[in-house]
Amino acid sequence: MSPAEAYQPDRSLKGKIRRRVVRLAHRRPLATEPQSPMVTFSFDDAPLSAAEAGTALLETRGARGTFYVSAGLAGTDGPMGRYAEAGDYQRLAAAGHEIACHTFGHLDCGRASGAQAKADAERNLAVLAQWETGPVTSFAYPYGDVAAGPKQALAPGYATLRALHHGVITAGTDLNQTPAVGIEGADGEAIASRWLDEALARKAWLILYTHDVRQAPSPWGCTPEALARLIDRARRGGAEIVTAAQGAQRLGVGVRGAAQKA
């Protein structure tokens, strides 16, 4: 069973308290205020449809995206369709897309220890290095969840670590648990559009994410038409479309630790 299909969030009181408290722990506030709006289009788990249809929509508009990759899923089948594999990621990297870390086994960082999360992420980095997909400076927590231990353990190795709570990135945003907005589900495009308006108005950085990109998407994906409309809307609004790594660089954010692998 795919990790996405098997996942059930921790709805216990302990889990709810943990999610609230971790937002206050091990923070790394962004010191720089964005001077103009930026939008990142990202793809989690990297279904093959995202690597093909998603990239085609970006590339025809002169833009590039970020792929948060769990190498352990590569070439397997799941509820979002078949996942991309090494050759696909090499092609994406060569075309200028960012290949980022999502742990090797799509680990739930909300239920793992810091040591477990770090080890699984390092395993993923080692595979990506073998695939020669470029330096890795961005991370996304699978399922968007994280506990204090993994948040502290992973933070030194990445410029940004992305979660799933809604919001835009501006001065004071926690770079160890950045917000993001999903383009998924029946109202995904409408929700993403509202947050895009917020980013344009505030001259902030917005990270959008989805999974598969196809005509009949999974509950975690979107249609090519929805993605195209959002890309065009961002461009018309004057936003610069950047990868997560480029967005961090624009704001002077680098990797603090020495664990980064190329």
- Taking Cα atoms as reference points, which of 195, 152, 196 lies closest to residue 177? 152
Mean pLDDT over 213-236 rounds to 97
Give the integer Cα–Cα distance in Å for 128 and 197. 35
Cα(205)–Cα(218) distance, integer angstroms: 27
Q: Does an H or E element contain 240, and which?
A: strand 240-241
> pTM for the full model?
0.93
Give the chain's mean pLDDT: 93
Q: How confident is the model at residue 4 (pLDDT cuts 50, 70, 90)?
A: very low
Q: Are 176 and 22 in contact (CB under 8 A)?
A: no
**50 DSSP assignment:** I
Considering only 7-16, 112-121, 131-140, 198-207, which range has the smallest mean pLDDT?
7-16
* pLDDT surpasses 80 at 7: no
Helix (H, G, I), strand (E, B) or coil at 36: coil
pLDDT mean over 162-170: 96
**Predicted pLDDT of residue 57:** 98
Going by pLDDT thresholds of 50, 70 and 90, the confidence category of residue 127 is: very high
Could you tell me the two tokens for 160?
A: 């940004």
> What does each C-alpha distance from 81 to 32, 66, 120, 242 come to in angstroms?
39, 19, 24, 26
Q: Is residue 203 a contact partner of residue 37, using CB atoms and an 8 Å limit?
A: yes
Specify the pLDDT at position 17. 75
The model's pLDDT over 17-73, given as tens digits with 9 standing for 90+, comes to 777 788 888 999 999 999 999 999 999 999 999 999 999 999 999 999 999 999 999
Q: Domains for the chain: give ranges and CATH numbers.
A: 28-250 (3.20.20.370)
Mean pLDDT of 221-232: 98
